[in-house]
Structure 1
Amino acid sequence: MCFVDLYVLYVNECVLILKSKLFVFHTKMFAISRSLRMSRCLSGFRRGLSLSCQSGPRILAAIDFDRTIVEEDSYLAVSRLLPTRQRQELQEQIRKSGWLAFIARVLQLLHGEHKVNSASVGMLVRRLPAVPGMLRVVRRLARNPKVDLCIVSDANSFFIGEWLREYAIECLFAGVFTNPACVQSSGEVLVLPYEEQGHCELCPSNFCKGAVLEELICSGKYERVIYVGDSCNDLCAMKRLREKDVACIRRGFELFGKLAAHGRDLNCHVLTWRDGHELEELLMPKIVA
């Protein structure tokens, strides 16, 4: 059996592991796999069974993770566990190969060459600082009985899960839409693409945020949607927002710098924010309005 055949068997085995592994976000569990479809996500997008008894208009608050909830890019932060030269060489390939290929190679090198296991990777992720004031924003949104919280991120389920559990806020999110990840028996973290798409040029081939948000909007459950993000792949999701929805764009980051060029593509209300304290001040009146 050649190396390619062995590799295919290895990937298939990992996919089977991911299909059988369930991640719990509060009382509802949903399966993730490499070919995860939105309909399956929607079937698990609930914050416990109590919501089924609630009536009236609901609000969805969808939030990015890197540089929106946490202050740093989690992929770049984890790559700092590599020697400087090796890390820099990999970063030069991001534009060509993409972020998912970058972190996959980082995790492979950490485990294979440097004997860094998932526990050490998880420890680094758990220490990532939150955007100032953002934990308060999340907790305050979660206290509103009309609001469902979710994360829409091109990070991965292992990184996000580790961080949410560190701050004991995992239960506040009805769903997390991201690239699936699992820890193998060897201790290496394996990350796979959420999907394989070619229809959206704004997003990477492994994850279209706009498709996620559009499916949630089309469910008919949400009268209003709030989307919070900082980068250009968040623009894809924000373009799906309606006039009554709100796009919250972080100042000083990628998307804000291109707002002048792309602002006309947005039909929703736009507010900009520097940190969680300012976001809370600007956003909460719109939630209760």
Structure 2
Amino acid sequence: MTAPPSLTHAVPQHQRFLVLFDFDETVINENSDDAVVRALPGQQLPEWLRNSYREGHYNEYMQKVLVYMAEQGVSEDSIHSAVEEIPPTPGLLYLFQYLQSHEQDFELAVVSDANMYFIETWLERAGVRHIFRKIFTNPASFDVTGRLVLLPFHSHSCCRCPDNLCKQVILREYLAGRQKERGGAPFQRVFYIGDGANDICPSLALGPRDTAFPRRDFPMHRLLLEMQQSQAAMFKANIVPWVSGEDIVDCLKKIMEER
């Protein structure tokens, strides 16, 4: 006699928390675009190219940089090596170890205005690609001529963000989609770890049980301090500045103890 289905099939347990990471100067300790430029023979861009950047059009600018690098003979191997050599931000590998040891509780994703080739290359080298469920970033791949081709992630109507990517749109869509996939169960808390001005927009979508982790003394942190001082600002999430990944682990441990 077979047992009732309710006894043979355990109810799936969902991870309770979502952790979102920026990449440049958050996971890694510098800007990946700057690191890759060092693969050029002269290790820097010509002035005419640097001066071609337009505010809010960084993705378009970086497409031109990659074309120039290909024209200068920079190979895929050179770019790959330059990305692999970027150092992690202090304590971030420790944070990844902690999250992996509690993978039943934490779902991880990257939300970055870098590109897929740089991010996947670095995460693979660090041995942590498998702990991320999703990477949201600009598509990038090498074409038959050996040039790294960069594309915009999406189009959107957010006036705060560059035209190729809005992290808040990504966050809201991901939360809605995952809640549906989880049978209507939302995440208990969302944690957003970043450093830059473009990490403010997604943080505005966080609620009072969520936490924004701005890297101390970086633009995200300074802008959040200004928002806190402004009575008009409606920032709902908790704010926990960090210097090292250990600071984030300490905070997450306290939250885990609240269960």
Q: Same fold (TM over 0.5)?
A: yes
Does structure 1 residue 69 correspond to structure 2 residue 27?
A: yes
**Map of 2:212 onto structure 1:** 247
1:93-108 equivalent positions in 2, closer than 5 A: 93-96=52-55, 98-108=57-67
Does structure 1 residue 200 correspond to structure 2 residue 165?
A: no
Quick one: percent identity of the two aligned structures? 29
Q: Provide the C-alpha distance between the structure 1 equivalents of 2:246 and 2:123, rounded to a whole number of angstroms.
A: 20
1:161-172 equivalent positions in 2, closer than 5 A: 161-172=120-131
**Map of 1:19 onto structure 2:** none
1:24-35 equivalent positions in 2, closer than 5 A: none
Q: Provide the C-alpha distance between the structure 2 equivalents of 1:206 and 1:287, rounded to a whole number of angstroms.
A: 36
1:31-180 equivalent positions in 2, closer than 5 A: 54-56=12-14, 58-82=16-40, 83=42, 86-96=45-55, 98-112=57-71, 114-144=72-102, 145-180=104-139
Q: CA, structure 1 residues 131+57, in 2 after alignment: closer, same or farther (shift >3 Å)? A: closer
The Cα shift of 1:95 comes to 3.9
Question: What's the CA shift string for 1:253-287, capped at 9, x where partnerless?
Answer: 11112223223332011100112122222333224
Q: Determine if contact 2:56/2:161 at 8 Å carries over to the other structure.
A: no
Q: Secondary structure at the match of 1:116?
A: coil
Pick from 244, 247, 254: which aligns with 1:275? 244
**Map of 1:29 onto structure 2:** none
Is the deviation greater in 248-257 or in 84-93?
84-93
Q: Secondary structure at the match of 1:262?
A: helix
Q: Determine if contact 1:179/1:194 at 8 Å carries over to the other structure.
A: yes
Q: CA, structure 1 residues 216+97, in 2 after alignment: closer, same or farther (shift >3 Å)? A: closer
The Cα shift of 1:97 comes to 6.2
**Map of 1:184 onto structure 2:** 143
Q: Determine if contact 1:202/1:232 at 8 Å carries over to the other structure.
A: no
TM-score (norm: length of structure 2)? 0.85
C-alpha RMSD of the superposition: 1.9
Specify the structure having the higher radius of gyration (Cα).
2
Which amino acid counterpart does residue 187 of structure 1 have in structure 2?
G
**Map of 1:258 onto structure 2:** 223
The Cα shift of 1:80 comes to 2.8
The Cα shift of 1:84 comes to 5.9
Does structure 1 residue 227 correspond to structure 2 residue 196?
A: no
- Give the length in aligned residue pairs: 236
Which amino acid counterpart does residue 131 of structure 1 have in structure 2?
T
Q: CA, structure 1 residues 56+156, in 2 after alignment: closer, same or farther (shift >3 Å)? A: closer
| Structure 1: gaps spanning 5 or more residues | 1-51
Q: Provide the C-alpha distance between the structure 1 equivalents of 2:221 and 2:56, rounded to a whole number of angstroms.
A: 25
TM-score (norm: length of structure 1)? 0.76
Q: Secondary structure at the match of 2:114?
A: strand
The Cα shift of 1:111 comes to 0.8
